[in-house]
Chains A and B, each alone.
Chain A
Amino acid sequence: MNGLIQDLRYALRQLRKNLGFTAVAVLTLALGIGANTAIFSLVNTLMLRMLPVREPEQLVELLHRYPGEPHLNGFSPQAYQLMRDHNHVFSGLIAAAYQPFHVRGEGLEPQTLQGGYVDRNFFPVLGMQPAIGRLIGPEDDRTGDPSAVAVVSWSYWKSRFNLDPAMLGKQIIVEDMLVTIVGVAPRKFSGLQVESRQDVWLPLAMQPTVVRSGLGWGSLWLVGRLKPGVSINQAQAETAVLYESTLEEQAKATNNPFIRKMKLEMEPAGAGLSQLREEWAKPLLLLLAVVGLLLLIACTNLASMLLARGATREHEMALRLSLGAGHFRLARQVLTESLLLSAVGSLLGVYVAYFGAGVLAKIIVAERRPGPPLEFHVRADMHVLLFTAAITLLTILLSGLVPALRAMRTAPASSLRQAGGTSETRPRRLFGKTLVVAQVALSVVLLSAAGLFVRHLLNLRHLDLGFHPDHVLLVTLDPEGSGYNDEHLSLAYQDLLQHLEAIPGVRSATICAPSPISGAGANRGVTVEGYEAKPGEIRNVMESWVAPKYFATVGTPLLMGRDFSFGDKGGPRVAIINQTMARYYFGSRDPIGRHVTFDGDGQPYQIVGVAGDAKYMEMREATWRTIYLNTFQEPSVDSRFALRTGVDPEAVAPDVRRVVRDMLKTVSVKSITTLTDQVNASIVPERLMATLSLWFGVLGALLAAIGLYGLLTYTVARRINEIGIRMALGATQSNATWMVIRDALGMVCIGSAVGAPIAFWSERFAASLVPELQIRSAVPIASGTVAMIAIALLAAYVPARRAARVDPMVALRYE
């Protein structure tokens, strides 16, 4: 023990003596460990943290999707019942419908809470015991005769009732229904979702009573508990048969044969249901790989710095050995140093992670998506703790083991050799170089990855969207409860559009629903005059409801025919289609004057114009067949406005608010954003990947440069005598400079030669995870390598100059 304290004290003294080195090492490790912990805690929250329910690993989520599209998680009540009653693979199948509830009651401030309807199996199948009272069970969830009861979360009980058990039996009003609180869910349970927490649960059978409209086709989230011994694949295979039998009926009922193509899928749900997981899992794993590489570079860097320092202390080590210290003791001493550095680094790293993860979580949920806002709380738990501990340990080993082993090999005899002699052996020097080569190789991989992600982002940025997002302000109004009826609102909006256009700086104003790249959309099956649909053909087209001047406002060209006008109101129904739709249905024939009829709607629309193709929901999508309808011809006008401005669109926002307030006193502004922001929000993962990987790539390269600089500086210092001799023998300054540069270039070239194939393989691996990352060229790897060489030459500059300035007189000294 005494020895350990001595080691610690000695290590502390060493670190204090070299404050510059210590600061660089600790900061590097803090960044490396912090970045890893931050990203891992996101991964953990999104994918690893198990729900606080009985045997969560048995839970699976049921999903379905149209081929090639993101999955959907809403099922119809019919499909749910059929699968629940006829499967042999689940010990229980549960359903829930989520929605925000307006809750009030005696002594309670009115409040909107996230909540849901849950079926009778929900709590029993999850294996939950109430904190107090009872949970919703079969006796409550009776179709047609539900009990008006509610279960609330523990945190709601705590924040509203201060954990008072007397609140059992209290009546609250949910939406407009009086319900009795009968129980509190267990403390840790806040619903099955990762990104939102539920506070109120009602029996599913109450849903028609509360909302007065039935559950829609895709409103139920289904989670099954697999029977012991049943695999997820078996369960999927069996349940798919049941599921497909419901599709037939759906397809017939909706006259939409496309539904038949839907496929059932299952995914493990033990870690909860997530709306972000599908989109973020792979980017986060890639980022984890990126920061893992960064940490590896940091460790190698530290190892090489410790090694170089160890060399300068070799004499001292040998002296200690000859004074009777054991080899093991010496190794322990060196390890103590890297342990101290790593410990301080990881403590700082946890701080970095805490803030980093918070910022990242905000960025991730900031992504525009339809539906209620998501919450994404990253909490440190046992997983994160273990992870941090593990990478810290790894850091200690990676950075300290080699110097420690080296200390163990010190020969006591070298204390007798004169200092400054040729004591460093070739293998040792080779090892120092190998560490730098490794850093360079890893940096090349990191920089290439950054190049790949940045290039991908640039490709997206240069994508032809079919409209011009800059200088467009998007304004959403909320006419709900304003007292306007549809007809009045329609007239008021016509008026409003004119007043909006009168605002200085506004070029044109229109309405568009949905606005481009909003992530939302609508589609319906159509019958097109003169076109015979083949059996099984997809008949759906995307729909947009827009006002006159839409195309001018967003900057999509009108290729043929005319724009909508306010005069269309009350007249025959008109539509404008995009070029893809025109080509698909009419080929080279003229579409103007033809008719389109929507499924389940008798009245045809006449095509009056053809617009250029434009991206609709997402930037990444292929162009859809799209039809634009005049919102003023619809039963109710839409409230999403778009303004093209000649000035910064944000600058006109105050005027827009004022005009809306002046003209439509009771209608409020729900949100204002710019089209550019909306487009940017749709590529948050790509932007985050590009930005972070670029930063980390540069950081990694800088670390490698520091490593190279350290080694070269140390080498030059060690070789001053040799350089002096060479100069005495006629070497010029440029010979000496070149000697150092050649050394640096040698290491960088080998590093790049090792790194480039790894980068190549990594790119392919990344592309196999994220197919949109097309690898069409060697540009990312080449630019990564060139960047690394440039940075390395900069790092070599100072030591090279030092070598050039060596005084040849040193050849005569050292005697």
Chain B
Amino acid sequence: MTETGQALIQIEDLTKVFYTDEVETHALSGVHLAIRKGEYVAMSGPSGCGKSTLLSIIGLLDTPTGGRYQLNSQPVENLGFAERSRIRNQEIGFIFQSFNLIGDLTVYENVELPLTYRQKMPAVERKKRVMEALERVGMAHRVRHYPSQLSGGQQQRVAVARALGGKPSILLADEPTGNLDSRNGEAVMELLQNLHREGATICMVTHDPRFAKHAEREVHLFDGKVVAEEELKKLMADVHA
């Protein structure tokens, strides 16, 4: 059962400005966004429009310059480092474009890693969760392998397992298929879709319209703002004209 209707992520008038070499980059300028529990949201838009920036703020990897952000009805903009770490660890599952598995650790250890940062999780429980997650992505037969011994598609499946193991409130994926060929890309997309069907909340960044269609809802970003689809098309046409 999914509890729809309740906003898991509530973002209002969010801004993010980067200051580099006296140049201000307004990566986000007044973003409004709400994601409900159980939703599958795809975020798209041209390169440099602020997708990754928004995702990293949602994932508490970065802090906004202005605006409000509530996760599970709790404001999180001003939390301390340790609290943010805890939330990242427990509420959020990351899936990166370049998989970001740790080369020194086996498949099993990679999936186990976020769980080791949790205090007082019994080893038995940890093992159960790791194996569940790996079975869920169909990689349980590769536990002793190192990432370099796997194909890209397999690595990304392990990365998904790592994100699942912590039973997070939301899965955040930044172009999860960007480094994969189309066949492997399809497989990962199918995996996310299945996860969504089982109740997972997902927010995925992609610039590939085919993959965006997998989601329930598509959010378009342009120049640091959320825009409607028609408006985006018009804006894009203006750019190309």
Contact = CB atoms under 8 A, between A and B. Distances in A.
Interface in A691-732: 721-722, 725-732
Contacts of B174: 812
Given A426-B104, A811-B100, A812-B96, A730 B90 contact: yes
Contacts of B61: 728, 808-809, 811-812
Interface stretch (B68-76, B78-86, B133-141, B208-216): B78-86
A421 B89 CA distance: 25
A725 B99 CA distance: 10
Nearest to B102: A722
B93 to A, nearest CB: 9
A809 B89 contact: no
A808 B86 CA distance: 13
B117 A728 contact: no
B67 interface: no
Contacts of A815: 96-98, 175, 178
Interface string B13-28: 0000000000000000
Contact of B117 (A735, A811, A812, A814): A735
Given A808-B61, A811-B94, A812-B52, A732 B117 contact: yes
Contacts of A733: 81-82, 85
A730 B114 contact: yes
A213 interface: no
A427 to B, nearest CB: 13
Nearest to A804: B81
Interface string B124-168: 000000000000000000000001100000000000001000100
A729 B88 contact: yes
Contacts of A812: 52, 55-56, 61, 96, 174
Interface in A768-783: none
Nearest to B85: A732
Nearest to B147: A422
Contacts of B81: 732-733
B95 to A, nearest CB: 11
Contacts of A722: 102-104
Contacts of A726: 102, 113, 117
Contacts of B117: 726, 729-732, 735
Contacts of B175: 815
Contacts of A728: 59, 61, 88, 94, 100
B162 A814 contact: no
Interface in B171-190: 174-175, 178
Nearest to B90: A730
Contacts of B118: 730
B103 A809 contact: no
A811 B114 contact: no
B198 interface: no
B96 A730 contact: no
B97 A725 contact: no
B229 interface: no
Given A809-B61, A809-B62, A729 B97 contact: no
Given A730-B90, A730-B117, A815-B178, A725 B82 contact: no
A279 B139 CA distance: 73
Contacts of A725: 96, 100, 102
A232 B52 CA distance: 87
Interface bracket on A? 20 to 34
A811 B113 CA distance: 15
Interface in B109-126: 113-114, 117-118
A740 to B, nearest CB: 15
B113 A729 contact: yes
Contact of A730 (B88, B98, B103, B178): B88
Contacts of B114: 729-730
B131 to A, nearest CB: 18
B101 to A, nearest CB: 8
A742 to B, nearest CB: 13
B173 to A, nearest CB: 11
A728 B55 CA distance: 12
Contacts of A426: 104
Given A426-B104, A722-B102, A811 B96 contact: yes
A777 B161 CA distance: 55
Nearest to A726: B113
Contact of A422 (B62, B103, B162): B103
Nearest to B62: A809
A612 to B, nearest CB: 67
B17 to A, nearest CB: 15
Contact of B94 (A422, A729, A731, A732): A729
Nearest to A721: B100
A422 B148 contact: yes
Nearest to A735: B117
Nearest to A808: B61
A729 B147 contact: no
B229 to A, nearest CB: 26
Contacts of A422: 103-104, 147-148
Contacts of A811: 61, 94, 96, 100
Contacts of B100: 721, 725, 728, 811
A728 B174 CA distance: 13
Contacts of B98: 814-815
Could you say which of A421, A727, A730, A814 has the most chain B C-beta atoms within 10 Å of its C-beta?
A730
B162 A729 contact: yes
Contacts of B86: 730, 732
B172 to A, nearest CB: 10
Interface in A239-286: none
B96 A729 contact: no
A214 B47 CA distance: 110
B56 A731 contact: no
Contacts of B52: 812
B208 to A, nearest CB: 15
A724 to B, nearest CB: 8
Interface string A771-815: 000000000000000000000000000000000000011011011
A422, A727, A728, A808: residue with the most chain B Cβ atoms closer than 10 Å: A728
A727 B94 CA distance: 11
Interface string B47-61: 000001001100101
A733 B94 CA distance: 19
A725 B59 CA distance: 13
A802 to B, nearest CB: 16
A812 B90 CA distance: 19
B106 to A, nearest CB: 12
A808 B104 CA distance: 19
Nearest to B117: A730
A681 B31 CA distance: 83
B226 to A, nearest CB: 20
A731 B102 CA distance: 14
Contacts of B96: 725, 811-812, 815
A66 B175 CA distance: 91
A421 B104 CA distance: 12
Contact of A809 (B56, B113, B162): B56
Interface in A385-438: 421-422, 426
B59 A732 contact: no
8 contacts: A728-B100, A729-B88, A730-B85, A730-B117, A731-B85, A732-B85, A808-B61, A815-B178
Interface of B: 52, 55-56, 59, 61-62, 81-82, 85-86, 88-90, 94, 96-98, 100, 102-104, 113-114, 117-118, 147-148, 162, 166, 174-175, 178
Given A727-B85, A809-B61, 20 more contacts: A422-B103, A422-B147, A721-B100, A722-B102, A725-B96, A725-B102, A726-B113, A728-B94, A729-B88, A729-B94, A730-B88, A730-B114, A731-B89, A731-B117, A732-B86, A808-B88, A812-B52, A812-B55, A812-B174, A815-B178
Interface of A: 421-422, 426, 721-722, 725-733, 735, 808-809, 811-812, 814-815
The 10 closest A-B pairs by CB, nearest first: A730-B89, A422-B103, A729-B114, A732-B85, A730-B117, A725-B100, A808-B61, A730-B88, A815-B97, A815-B98
